[in-house]
Each structure stands twice: as structure tokens, then as C-alpha cells.
Structure 1
């Protein structure tokens, strides 16, 4: 029997329940009917971060970044490409540490960009510094 997974919609943030076998079939949200997987990172705020962290049954890979950070800007296209490769096995998200300073403090973000991988609501791995798409994918696959 295929165990259902809970997935948070990147558009309306509704929690969807679906069989794991449907992940690769480009499922849509039951509430807003938008795609559950877009091949792009979802921008999270403090309120949406908690929902994605606590309610997604797939790992969450977060890029903690800031708009003034040169290495963050350099890594942004690679992180975007990684989302296209890693979904639907992981949800990729971005948190702007300038606008979400409490989240950055809560997770002890001391340098940016920092990638943090969460599984089951807990941080399982962290990588500081800008890396390319190949390294992001390899690092994420190694730790999830």
C-alpha cells in the first residue's frame, strides 16, 4: 500500500495529502489547483516557513540569503536549477535573512549564503558558502 504524504502548496500553503507514487505525475493543489512542484524554490516568511517545515513529509532544503550578499546572488541561479533537479524528492525554499531576521537568529545563521536541510522538522545538515548546482544536488542527495 502506498503511504500518503503531506505536501504544502508553494502557492496557497494549503496542506495536500497524496500517495507517494503520484509525486512524479505533476500533482496539483486540491485547494488552489496550482502545481505542487514548480521546479523553483519557494520564498518563505516566518509564518510560511513553520508550515513548510512542520507539514511537508519530504525534506526541505533552505537557502538563507540576503539581497546585498554578492555570493548569494552568484548562487541564486544554481539553487534555482537545483530545484528543477531535486523536486519532487525535496522542497527547495529561500529565506531572506534581511526581512526574516528572527528566523535567521532562531536557526543560528552566522554567514550567508547558508544551506540548511530539514527532515521531519529537524535540521539534519548545513553547508555555508556559495556552491554550484552540481554541488548543491550532490550535497542534498548525500544528506537526505
Structure 2
């Protein structure tokens, strides 16, 4: 993926800040969850992705999430953080969360706050896996 696509996707995600949180939400007009935010941001940037269907809010394994990301065209990366990368974050309870990241910002659908929010980059732990869309 060109850096331009990632930057456009991150800009699209930032434009969705304030959109209500909705479980399984994939349309900014009606609400987004963390998966829906990533997929909607890339669609707004001009790249439609194969989206996983009927995923649970809790209980997906890391392997199943990785398979869904790969099916959409993402690959894990260890290179320097780039606008439009996606962070796969695991919390202590084993729940997973996706977030759009850039050099100095994280955009994610926050279930607790019930909306899409911007956060500082420190909300992404060092142990999070970063994924990048490749053409």
C-alpha cells in the first residue's frame, strides 16, 4: 500500500471522530465498532476491503483475527509506524481491539465512551501487533 493510501485512510478515520459506537457497526451514518471503523476508513480512502461477518465482541482468537486481517489484504509489520497502520491490541482479559494509527494519533471506536475518539499514541501498547495494507 502506498503511504498515500494509509494517510488518506487515517484522515478518513479522523473525520469519523464522534460517530456513535455500534456493535457490528460498519456505516458511519449509523455507527461503528473498531472493525467497522478500519473498514469504513479504507473504503472512504478508495479501497474496499473484504470484511469479516458476524464476529463476536469477545471471544475471537488472535489467530482468527489475524486471518481476517490477512483476508482483507493486511500483513503484520515491524517497520516504523506509518499513517494508516492498524494496531491489533489485546487487553489483559483476552479481548482484542483494532485502532487506526499514525505518527502522533490513534483513532478508534471506544465501546466505553460509545463513540469514535482520537487518543494519544501511548494508548497502543508496545506489545500490540501492527498491520499494514499491501496492494
Structure with bigger gyration radius? 1
- Work out whether the TM-score is over 0.5: no
Which one has a larger percent helix, Structure 1 or Structure 2?
1
> What TM-score do the two structures reach when normalised by structure 1?
0.28
